[in-house]
Amino acid sequence: MEDPILSTQGHLNVPEKDLPAVAPDDFRESMQWRIFRVMAEFIEGFEFLADFKKSVTIFGSTRDGHAVHKWSEEARKLGQMLAKEGFAVVTGGGPGIMEAANRGAAEADGLAVGINIQLPREQRVNPYVNHAKGFHYFFTRKLMLTYSAQCYVYFPGGYGTLDEFFEIITLIQTKKIATHIPVILVSKAFWGPFDQWMREVLLERNGAIDAEDLDIYTIVDSAEEAMAIVKQSKPRQAF
């Protein structure tokens, strides 16, 4: 499958090493041009997502480690279940857990959506994505991943997964997005110790959060449990 992501200078399917060097005085390096580029990414991203009226965003590790091996089959199963219920399965478009979820959706003839980031070497769209959009800036890509999903599902992952998790629960805590949106954490073994730390260190020892803040997310241990929560969720209006 061809890589549909634009390079950092907007050329389709051209390796970074084959692009001409950008001169320091090139207008594309100016602050004004970058502002227009950011605006363009927002407009294109919102237009892209407008076609997916009912979606669930799935996050998780890209690495080929223990977490991926153990939980990729559950992510694939969940992707299948979601597609059969008419949900678009939105991921970051990369490998690992994201690929498994997109694969499940594609196998069920559903919408497997990849919102990818343009990196020189690492991340490219996985082969199961059938609707892809690439972004140059991390912050525009992150907004699109969190823009209008009906639920958010987090499998085990690293810094990126945790970053995306904390962003969503902060937006819900501060009521910047609807407070009824389910946030589902899959794997009690992975998220259980994290939840215990949140309760003991943040809440009890330091009073840094309120008790109800811990109700923002739910920890489950299977695709079936996650899907049961999704089925009870309400359609969401874009914020």
pLDDT given at position 7 = 36
d(CA 55, CA 149): 5
d(CA 16, CA 7): 7
Please check whether residue 136 is in contact with residue 194, taking contact to mean a CB–CB distance below 8 angstroms: no
The 10s digit of each residue's pLDDT in 56-88 is: 999 999 887 666 678 999 999 999 999 999 999
Which amino acid appears at position 160 of this protein? G
pLDDT given at position 10 = 40
Among candidate residues 194, 235, 230, 206, the one with its CA nearest the CA of residue 81: 230
Alpha helices in 12-145 (DSSP H): 31-49, 66-84, 97-107, 138-145
pLDDT given at position 69 = 76
* Degrees, nearest 5: CA angle 70-74-78: 160
Please check whether residue 141 is in contact with residue 44, taking contact to mean a CB–CB distance below 8 angstroms: no
Helices and strands per DSSP (H, E), number in the chain? 7, 7
Name the token pair of 160. 């990126």
pLDDT given at position 25 = 67
d(CA 227, CA 70): 18
Give the 3-state secondary structure of 186-223: ECHHHHHHHHHHHHHHHHHHCCCCCHHHHHCEEEECCH
Under CATH, to which class is 26-232 assigned? alpha beta
Among candidate residues 134, 165, 130, 168, the one with its CA nearest the CA of residue 148: 168
pLDDT given at position 4 = 39
Sheet holding 112-117, edge to edge: 131-135, 112-117, 88-91, 55-59, 151-154, 183-186, 217-220
Which parts of the chain register pLDDT below 70?
1-28, 65-68, 119-123, 237-239
